[in-house]
Amino acid sequence: MLSRAAPSKGLRLLCATVFLCLGHVASRADAPFVVDEWRFGTQETNATLRYCIDARDPDWPVARKIAAAVAAALLLRGEEYLIGDDPRSADMSGDDLDDTYRALIQHCDVFFGFKLVPDAYPGWITITRPYYRSTYVYVVADPAWKSLGDIPTTLAIGATIGTGADMRLTQYILAVPADKRWDKYPMSSDEAALRAVMRGTTAAALVWAPALWALRKTDAGIAKLPEMASSPLPVSTADVGAILLSRQMFLRSSLDQAIASLTADGTVAGILKDENFPGTPEPP
């Protein structure tokens, strides 16, 4: 871990600490509009890494441990802000990330648990290197189906709306002749997709493996649903990391170094293993 790092790394950590002292100096070029933004001042401590964890994320217990490890690696006191049961952004009019912006100016320097989708973020956000990679998985009611190709095209696949895997499945469906297509039903959440399988509305559900991991711990019915292979489609994966304001370039560099060190020394792998989590450090 970086707490045992060489002096040169320690110097960088000191620089990161100094940078945190500067707080956020607004650059409003393309940042969202937040009412009375002046109310959100800079933090007064210079030895704290304030990080947000979203309890609505299925992987939040893992994100929490990794965030704490990152703070420790940076020789900073970790200060967690747990976003609770707030309603999700209420429409898709482009305001969705405004909430994230508000969290980043009000509560935290870095927000853990974001899939690193290319071109999906506006310029005011920068992303760290990933700390794990996970997959999207197909879950079925009938264990006789071993892969997606086994499912009759007279049946429907349920997919959580708009994920990268959903879009790849859609592209596949569009590419094959009509008589070789499954119907695809968009589902509002991973849980809704899984429950549609249990009800028989769909033959399979395409869901994010960490969501399945979390739901299996609390729902015996979902825990019994078997997974199947994605062939003829390749396995869809997504890398997960953290986001922060793009003006925090030095902090991002420090976070990247910390994540790299925690990956290299096996800390991330240990956390994933302890949680029996369906992910691998990135790079493994």
Partner 1 sequence: MPASNISSSRFWTATILGFPLLLLAGAPAQAQPAQVADPMKNMRLVTDEMLLHPDPGDWLMWRRTYDGFGFSPLNQINKANVKDLQVAWAWSLTNGATESTPIVHDGILYIWNYADKVQALNAATGDLIWEYRRELPQAIIDLAGNIMAKRNMAIYQDKLVIATSDAHLVALDAKTGDVVWDHETADWHKGWRYTSGPFIVDGMVLQGMTGCGNAEPGGCFITAHDFKTGDEKWRVWTIAHPDDPNFNTWNGLPLESRFGASAWVAGSFDPDQNLVFYGVGQPYPWIAEMRGTLPKKKNAPSITNTSLYSDSTLAIDPATGKVKWYHQYLQDDTWDLDYVYERMLIDLPLNGATRKMVVTTGKLGIIEALDRTTGEWLWAKQTVPQNVVAKIDDKTGEKTINQAAIPHIGQTTVNCPADPGGRGWPATAYNPTTQTLFLPLNEFCSNTTPTPLDPGQAYTGGGRAIFARMLVPNSDGNVGRIDAIKLTDRSTTWSFRTRAPSTGAVLPTAGGVVFAGAWDRYFRAWDDATGKVLWQIRTNNAINGFPVSYSVNGKQYVAVSVGNGSSHAKSLATLTPEITAPDGGSVLWVFALPDTK
Q: Which residues bind partner 1 (CB under 8 A)?
A: 30, 32-37, 54, 56-58, 83, 85-100, 102, 111, 113-117, 119-121, 158, 160-164, 166-167, 170-171, 173-174, 178-179, 181, 183-189, 192, 196, 201, 208, 238, 243
Nearer to partner 1, 189 or 280 (CB): 189
Contact (CB, 8 A) for 242 and 128: yes
Could you tell me the smallest distance in angstroms from the CB atom of residue 191 to partner 1?
10
Could you tell me the smallest distance in angstroms from the CB atom of residue 56 to partner 1?
5
Q: Where is 227: in which H helix or E strand?
A: strand 227-228
Could you tell me the smallest distance in angstroms from the CB atom of residue 13 to partner 1?
27
DSSP 247: T
The single-letter code of the amino acid at 142 is: D
Nearer to partner 1, 145 or 208 (CB): 208
Contact (CB, 8 A) for 197 and 139: yes
Nearer to partner 1, 72 or 222 (CB): 222
Nearer to partner 1, 19 or 81 (CB): 81
Neighbours of 17 (CB within 10 A): 18
Indicate the length of the chain as a whole number: 284
Could you tell me the smallest distance in angstroms from the CB atom of residue 157 to partner 1?
10
> How far is it, in rounded angstroms, from Cα 63 to Cα 68?
8
Instruction: Give the alpha-carbon dihedral of 165, 243, 255, 282, to 10 degrees.
Output: 0
Nearer to partner 1, 2 or 63 (CB): 63
